[in-house]
Structures are given as C-alpha cells and as structure tokens.
Amino acid sequence: MGAMLGHTPGSSSFRRYAFSEAPWGTKLHTSTAVRPSFHKRSLRLIEGPQPVFADAGFRQSRKSASGWSPNQTVFKQEKHAVQGPNGTGMFGALQPDNGLSCLAQVRREGQGLHRQNSYSPSVISAEVVLGKTFEADLPIQEIQAHNYTTLNTENKPPEMTLERAVNLLSQDDEEMLISAASYIQSQSFRSADAKKTVYYLHGIPKLLELLNNDNEEVQRATAGALRNVVYQSSENKMEVKESDGLATILLALKHSRDVETRRQLTGLLWNLSSHDLLKERLSREALTVLTQSVLVPSSGISEGENPKDDLLADADVFHSVTGCLRNLSSAGPDSRKAMRDCEKLIDSLVYYIRGTIADYKTDDKSTENCVCILHNLSYQIEAELPTKHMRDLRESRQNLAPKPKTVGCFSYRSAKITEHLEQRGPLLEENANPQGIEWLWSAIIIRMYLSLLARSVRHYTQEAAIGALQNLTAGNGAVTEAIAFTIVQRENGLQHVKRMLQEGESGMKRTAVSLLKNLSRYQELLPDIVKQVLPEVVEMLPNDDTGTDLPTDVTASLCHILINLSQNSLQHVRDIVNQRALPRIINISNKDNGYGPTRAGQAACVLLHAMWKHSDLHEVFKKCGYRKTDFINARTTKAVNSS
C-alpha cells in the first residue's frame, strides 16, 4: 500500500512503499577479503548545501520555487586523507546591490515578510582524495553541494558594515537582528574574508545565542548566517564547537516547526559535519535528534503515527541530514557503532530507498546519500557485529544448511541429488521484519542493492550499492558465506556484476572485480562465475597489443579470481585457455616495477604455476605453442615460494 507523506511548502509530496522488491532481469568504505587484493574504500561528503545569500527585503510578487540544477564537476587528487582545499566556484543567482536593512521599511509598509526562496542543492564539485581513512588506500569519494538562496529588494539600504552588524546582534529589536544576521549571511557568501572578520569580531557566539530567540524569523536569518559563516572555514567550525554551539543548533532543530528554518539548520549541520574533529561529537550528540526530527517524518516510515511529525516532512531537509550522516558514517568504528545502534536510523534509510525503488526514482540525491551511509555502515560488519547477532546468525546458518538425503532404491540417482544439494551453500534466512542493525545483512537489503544496480543510473549510487555487497562478502564467517551464496544462487546477482564489468565506470569496475574476487573463494560458486562472467574477467586483463592499462591492484585481483578458478578444476583452466587469456597472463607475469615483479606480475606468476599443475593439459598447452618454461621459470617459482 502506498504511504503519502505530508505536503509542506517548497517541497513535493513523495510516496513510500514497504515491500520487498526484486531486481529486474532473469554504487564509501569497502572491505576486502582475506589477503585483499583491493584496498578498502569509503564514500563520504565534505560540505553540505551551502552558501545561502539573502537580501533582507522581499518582492511581494516573487513566488517560491524549488528545483534541481546540476552544474559542473571538478576532480582533484591529494595524497593525504584530510579535508583538502575545496577550490569551488560560486554559482548562484545574481546579487543586486540593494541592501539588507530595509526589512523594517517593508514591514512598515504593511507588506509583511515573505519566506525566502529555497533552491534544492546542486552538485558543484567533487573531490577525490587519495589516502588512508578507515584503513583505506583507494580514493575516498567526496561530494560537495551548494544551495544558493537569493532575496530581492527594491530599496537602497543605509550603509552597513560587518562590525556594525555584529554589534547589532546584541540589540533587542527583532528587525535590527534580522537585518544584521542577513547582512552577515550576505557578506559571508560574497567573501571568505568576511568569515574571518566575523570570527575576529566574536560574532559566532552571538549568532549562536540568537538561535534561542523566540522569533522564528530571527532564528531563520541567524541559521542562514551561520551556515555561510562556517562554510569552507575550519576555524569558524571549531569556534562553533568551542562555543558549545552543536547543542544549541540541535535544540533549535528539535523545536523548530518552520520548514525554511529547518532547511538552514540542517544545511549548517551538514557543513559542520565535514570537519573531522566534529564528526565524533556529532555522532555522540546529534543522531537521535536527526533521526527523530528528520529521518523518521521525511522517510515516511512512521507516517500516520504522529500527524504533527508528518508536517515536518521536507525533501530538502532530508537531503541535508542524509548528507550530514554520510559524513559521519566515515568517521570511524565508534561513529559506525553509534549509527548502527541509533533507533530507527537504519530502518528509515532502508524504508526511503525501497520507496524510491518502488517509485522508479532511484536517481535522486537523497537516495545516493542513504546508500552511501549504508555502504559505510556495512564496513567490517562481521568483525564489529555484537556477539548476540553473530550467535543468532550461526544458528540460522546451521538450520538452513542442506540436510543429507536418505539414499533410496535408485541409489545412483539419489546420491547425485544429495551431491547437488550439498553443493548449494547456506543462504540467508528470510526475515520479513528486520529491525535496526539486522537490516545490514538481511536478504531484503541484498535484493535492494541488486535492484539499485539494475535500476539506477547514478554513478555514486551504483558504486555504493556494489561496494556494500563487497563489504558484506569480505569476511570469513557464517554471515559472509551466507551472503555470498544468497547473491549468486538465490538472487542471480552475477548478472549485475557482469553488467558493471561491461558498462560500469572505472570505480564501479574496480569494486565489481573486488566483489567477484570475494565470491570466487567459495568452490561451489565457481561454476556460476565461469559460466556468467569469465569472458568479462579475461577481457579486462591488460594486453600490450591493445594498449589496455589497468591499475596494478585491479589486475592483481583479476589474476586472483583466475587462480581460485584454476586451483581444483582442470575444466576451468581449459575454459580460461579457450578465452585466449594465456598471452595476457604471460605478459602480466613479466611486468616489473624496477625492484621486481609488480603485485599484478606476482599474481600472474602464481596463476601460471597453478595452471601447469594440471598435467593432463600439458599437450593442450604445447599445441597452442606454449612451453613448460612459460609456466615454470625462476620468476613464477619465486612468486609461488614468496606467496
């Protein structure tokens, strides 16, 4: 049944459904398997929707509008996993020279104060930072979104300066407070120096104090000013922290019922969450408020239970909060644990994603945020799982394991049936109503990730979905094994891996290869891998003749997949040879980085050694023009001995 969220000004209603969806057809942190050939990955955001520009006066005839406006994407690389310079351009509405202090005149003329327009955040830039986060060596995907709000006025203002504006923040006159906060908001949008000036004038503590003001318009203007003041300013973010501003902001969000104020407050929190030193504290203090005040009403999971909360549902507020949580999910094991344990947090994210899948709206930005959060929360899930859940899962696995069949009169046939059943590994138990952390390894969420791979065309959504599957298959215990067999045998997930290998962008291909490497550790799954994706695996191997050049880690993972296929099956080696993989493998085995074989070269050497072990294929190799020395030589022997 459909569940319609409450409609709020400035945001469209959206339906959410709660039922299990199956992928069509019959992409954080990323973990890897034992002795990983892939480094781990985390998807996180930097700044939230930002900056907001406001003139204090409003045209009465201006209508409220909201819409997506994607702009350009810029990629940068740095060597350390720290918050690097953003270097982003400002794209927003043209800003008139008219002033900010004419609010009083507008009010005196009886026009009233109209709500400022709010435009949904649009992606301006993306940064790829190389370094270690969550013990990760591959790029950390970071997305920065900006939300520009422009207010127009018809009258020239009296001259205002930042010093005067900060001084006015101590006044009791509400109109003066709004004018001062709006001026600070405007100047902080225009100039980075203005943010520094506000800091040195001790304006941030004054702004934070105004969030306690009973006047909603004062709160709204103040939140917008703070949102701009902290944007791209680590110094100002820390000033908010040192002024105990997080508690003030969260209290204001908890009690505010004004949609525009909530948009500014959540945008402010998103920006604050980009600072590494604030993430842990936000994870301790903010999760309950963000979940109960935003995630629950906006996801629709509790729709109808509290009509007042339903009125708080707003797409922009939800987007900002999921962006904030996406940052927090990258902060480390303590933050991951806090988020996993927060009541209704995971439930709301899953409910929202399943709703967008049901509505064929898998490409919206909030869905991307939600999937990236779940991706990070799936990192090292088996190692960090509470003991109780591990015990329950082990018992579930034992209950689902195939039972030996009694051999009947037709003993040969019965034995074959038993053998076939025993080849199928344990599957995840079908739990129709997971709660909280149970969602992270449920059969429903596996289908959800596969549905996103089938239906979404959004790059980071796909990469996070397949990255979550990679994380979930990276361990060594009962959970990992059951998930791997569920993906391949119950859900036919290899079809989606195949499509990612064929059509995916580089990041998705890397993650798909790593997922496939995890799956190839299970002997029972190897026939499916050979049948469905072996041609794609071989096609990705570098070939000097075509000039293909893959990162050495990806090539090493491809070789490890082929090693797993070759270990115990002559037929699989024959299939690899029939795909004309040998020339590529031999070329890779000769790769050298100046100090010896590359990681990929060493893996290829081990692969050649494993292939030669099948003596029945020696004649086949010779007929193809290969000699024993192509397989067994000083390089391959050394690689095997050192592996």
508-543, pLDDT tens digit by residue?
999 999 999 999 999 999 999 999 999 999 999 998
Cα dihedral 132→134→139→140 (10° resolution): -120
pLDDT above 90 covers what percent of the chain?
A: 57
Q: Is the pLDDT of residue 177 over 90?
A: yes
pTM (predicted TM-score): 0.76
Distance between CA atoms of 19 and 21, rounded to whole angstroms?
6
Helices then strands (H, E): number in the chain?
Answer: 33, 5
* Residue appearing with tokens 């990258």: 330
With contact defined as beta carbons under 8 Å apart, do 176 and 160 qualify?
Answer: no
435-474, pLDDT tens digit by residue?
999 999 999 999 999 999 999 999 999 999 999 999 999 9
Which 3 state secondary structure label does DSSP give 3? strand
Q: Is the pLDDT of residue 147 over 90?
A: no
Q: In the predicted model, what is the mean pLDDT of residues 480-488?
A: 94
Q: Is the pLDDT of residue 389 over 90?
A: no
Give residue 550's pLDDT.
78
DSSP 231-297: TT-HHHHHHHHHTTHHHHHHHHHHH---HHHHHHHHHHHHHHTTSHHHHHHHHHHTHHHHIIIIIHH
Distance between CA atoms of 488 and 528, rounded to whole angstroms?
8
DSSP code at position 492: -
Strand residue runs (E) in 163-234:
none
With contact defined as beta carbons under 8 Å apart, do 178 and 167 qualify?
Answer: no
Q: What stretch of H or E contains 348?
A: helix 345-358
14 or 388: which leads in pLDDT: 388
319-357, pLDDT tens digit by residue?
999 999 999 999 999 999 999 999 999 999 999 999 999
* Residue appearing with tokens 């398997």: 33
229-263, pLDDT tens digit by residue?
999 999 999 999 999 999 999 999 999 999 999 99
pLDDT above 70 covers what percent of the chain?
A: 68
Which 3 state secondary structure label does DSSP give 23? coil
Confidence of residue 133 (pLDDT cuts 50, 70, 90): very low
* Contacts for 191 with CB less than 8 Å, ≥ 6 apart: none
Give residue 428's pLDDT.
80
| Average pLDDT of the chain, as a whole number | 76
21 or 617: which leads in pLDDT: 617
Q: Is the pLDDT of residue 5 over 90?
A: no
Confidence of residue 573 (pLDDT cuts 50, 70, 90): very high
Give residue 293's pLDDT.
95
* Contacts for 317 with CB less than 8 Å, ≥ 6 apart: 259, 262, 263, 266, 294, 298
Q: Is 601 exposed, middle or buried (0-12, 13-18, 19+ CB in 10 A)?
A: buried
Give residue 55's pLDDT.
37
- Nearest CA to 277 out of 322, 224, 321, 236 is that of 236
Which 3 state secondary structure label does DSSP give 129? strand
Provide the residue type at 280 as one letter: E
Distance between CA atoms of 492 and 91, rounded to whole angstroms?
44
Give residue 322's pLDDT.
98
Query: Rounded to 5 degrees, what angle do the CA atoms 183, 188, 191 make?
Result: 120
Confidence of residue 591 (pLDDT cuts 50, 70, 90): confident
With contact defined as beta carbons under 8 Å apart, do 587 and 542 qualify?
Answer: yes
- Beta carbons within 10 angstroms of residue 425's beta carbon: 20
